[in-house]
Structure 1
Amino acid sequence: MFLHPSSFLFLMLLATTIFMIISADSWLMMWLFFEINLLLFIPLLFSKKSKYQSEASLKYFLNQAMSSVLILSSITFLSTSEPLCYCLLCTAFSLKMGVAPLHGWLITISSSISWLSLWLLLIPQKIAPMLIMSTLIKKDSFLLLCVFIILSALLGAWGGLTTPSMKKIITYSSIAQMSWLLTSLLSSTITWVVYFIIYSLITTSITVSLAFMKTNKMNDLLSSKNKLMKTLMMMNMLAIAGLPPFSGFMMKLTLIMKTIEISKSFLLLPLILSSLISLYFYSRIFYMSLMDSSTSKTENNKKIIEKIIIFFNIFSLPVGFLLVY
């Protein structure tokens, strides 16, 4: 299914707003670009013809509007109560990204939107809020950030065990990965950049493969004919779960060492526990993907796209070894 030509315009403008948010020199301008970003993203939610797309766009709008209200409220407390301002900003950006326990809206709309919209929510739309949160890691908001890290690790991993929807599993996995990404902000921005690049490549390869195979439920893996693409996709799932010797293990091992260096080792227990739980339900999907039927011929116009996706899956597996420093 091809995108409408106007969708490419919205995607370019969406990328522009992300750069404008990062480069904004005042809180008011940052809030303004966030609102423009919101208005540009809502039309992209309608790229999938579904009877639930209006409900999904409304839920997304209400939650983003609530986070914008928190940002404006925090600006008013900036001169009087700086600790309260940082806590409100941290809560607002966590709500924008769907960090646990503020992740309810992200789970409910994930199955009602297209794979493209879900990919935009899980990767590009998190860049600006996370970079801004890196400047808010103060003594006053550190405890609140630790609460978000622990809850995201536990709830994100636990939620993936209870749903058969592949979109929800990828969403819960992203919530669990947010705990690692927020932890990487505590060490340095460079560590976050390396982790985010590897996370983005692996998640992109998984979502593109699932979209190409039209896999919405776990049972759909049984009817998929492309054994090679399924195997490579599942290897990427094991990689993002942190199974050695994949790139996901290297990035998590590096972050564990960085966390010990900055004396924040108390965060490692929920992080490692979430990786073990995530590895369990990824292994269950991997087992189902092996129980497939015989291969079949594909159309000529799909073979080129299929080869590109397979190459991207292969590329995303060892890329972590190149980026780990």
Structure 2
Amino acid sequence: MNPITILIIYFSIFMGPMITMVSSNMMLTWVGLEMSLLAITPLLTNKKNPRSIEAATKYFITQATASMMLLFAITLNYKQLGTWTFQQETNNILLNITLISLSMKLGLAPFHYWLPEVTQGISLPTGLILLTWQKIAPISIMFQIYHLMNPTVILTLATMSIFMGAWGGLNQTQARKIMAYSSISHMGWMLAILPYNPNLTLTNLLIYIILTIPMFMILLTNNSTTINSISLMWNKTPAMLMITTALLLSLGGLPPLTGFLPKWAIITELLKNNCTIMTTLMAMMALLNLFFYTRLIYSTSLTMFPTNNNSKMLPYQENNKHNLMLSTLVNLGTLTLPLAPQLVI
């Protein structure tokens, strides 16, 4: 692809969510979402194969449908109130349509079916953008209008997402699909606390991004896309096994790692608001998430797949791939639990 074209694409991907975050005008937030959608579509089809074309088609149709619903709600709200912002007088049906459209963009259940398939069909760098940066704009819109939305609908979508993210990842062998279902589950946790403490939603999003980026960096370093290929890291980069184990356990929310912080804070906040049953179900589903992360660790670290003798010399060969940010992000993703009081306040 032409370097100038790549520069324009990445600039548009960066500016789309930025415009959405800083805008109070709902039409401008919609423009930011559209910029992000149109810019990432060429990256989805960068690999010229049927799977990437199928993934790009699914992504475009889903996101275009969500954008159409959001524009429909914004236009009707302007017709009724004469303003481009949502107010207390905004019709509840329009707010629910907005919530559904944003849920489709985030991949929340029951609108999540496109996310694992699209993530599986695209390259690892584009998958990283899809599961991290592309989540920021819809969550920023929810952060602005959460006080107007129906808490019951929000909690229903959150609970369904946590369940689907936990159950869907159990039988997966593809690393990208596992990360996609992990994203669905984490988005459910973020949405669950939104009506009560939106600052915790942003904290959870930040920690999720810090954990996801180094995980994709490790997959990129070893060109690993399946559990079997990840299991060969003991031949190529043995030190990566310990890092991968720590990151996966942190993603699962195991104390005393960083990933435990948002789950602990969210559960505490929900219990303060008398959501006992929902909190119990969320904690049970967190154990399912931890189970398939642990199974991935077992397959990669505690088993040794048969390989030829030549591959045992791979650790002594020079590795030309260097990730300068990997060590910093791994430390942030595993050792920042002592900063919990400052992050939660």
TM-score by length of 2: 0.86
**How far off its partner does 1:319 sit?**
2.6
CA contact (8 A) 1:198 1:320 kept: no
* Partner residue in 1 for 2:111: 102
Structure 2 distance, partners of 1:270, 1:48, is: 40
Counterpart residue number, 1:284: 295
Larger-gyration structure (1/2): 2
Counterparts of 1:127 and 1:199, CA distance in 2: 11
Q: Does 1:301 align with 2:320?
A: yes
The partner residue of 2:122 within 113, 123, 126 is 113
How far is the alpha carbon of 1:49 from its aligned partner? 4.5
Task: Report what 2:285 is aligned to.
Answer: 274
- The percent of aligned pairs where both chains have the same amino acid is 25
Matched, 1:145 2:145: no
Q: Which amino acid aligns with 1:128?
A: A
Structural RMSD (CA): 2.2
Aligned letter for 2:206? Answer: I
Could you list the runs of 5+ residues in structure 1 that have no partner in the other structure? Answer: none
Quote the offset at 1:93 in angstroms: 0.3
Asked whether the 8 Å contact 1:222–1:292 carries over to 2, the reply is yes
Q: Look up the match of 2:49.
A: 50
Task: Assess if the C-alpha contact under 8 Å between 1:233 and 1:313 holds in 2.
Answer: no
CA contact (8 A) 1:155 1:176 kept: yes
> Which of 259, 280, 283 is the matching residue for 2:270?
259
Q: Give yes or no for the alignment of 1:91 onto 2:100.
A: yes
Matched, 1:241 2:252: yes
Aligned pairs for 1:23-172 (under 5 A) are: 23-78=22-77, 79=80, 82-138=91-147, 141-172=150-181
| Kept after mapping to 1: 8 A contact 2:151/2:195 | no
Q: Contact 1:159–1:172 at 8 Å: present in 2 too?
A: yes
CA 311–23 in structure 1, closer or farther in 2 if over 3 Å, else same? closer
- Which residue identity lines up with residue 316 of structure 1 in the other structure? G
Match of 2:334 in 1: 317
Q: In 2, Cα distance between the equivalents of 1:29 and 1:72?
A: 11
After superposition, give the CA deviation of every residue in 1:137-172 in whole Å (9 maximum; x if it has no partner).
Answer: 346522211111111010111011121111000000
Structure 1 length as normaliser, TM-score? 0.91
4+ runs of 1 displaced by more than 6 Å? none
CA gap of 1:258–1:166, structure 2 versus 1, over 3 A, is same
Q: 1:272 to 1:223 in 2, by over 3 A?
A: same
1:251–1:320: 8 Å Cα contact kept in structure 2?
Answer: no
Mean Cα deviation higher: 292-301 or 276-285: 292-301
Instruction: Give the deviation of 1:180 after TM superposition.
Output: 1.0
* Structure 2 unaligned spans of 5+: 82-89, 306-311
Map residues 10-25 of structure 1 onto 2, 5 A cutoff.
Answer: 10-25=9-24
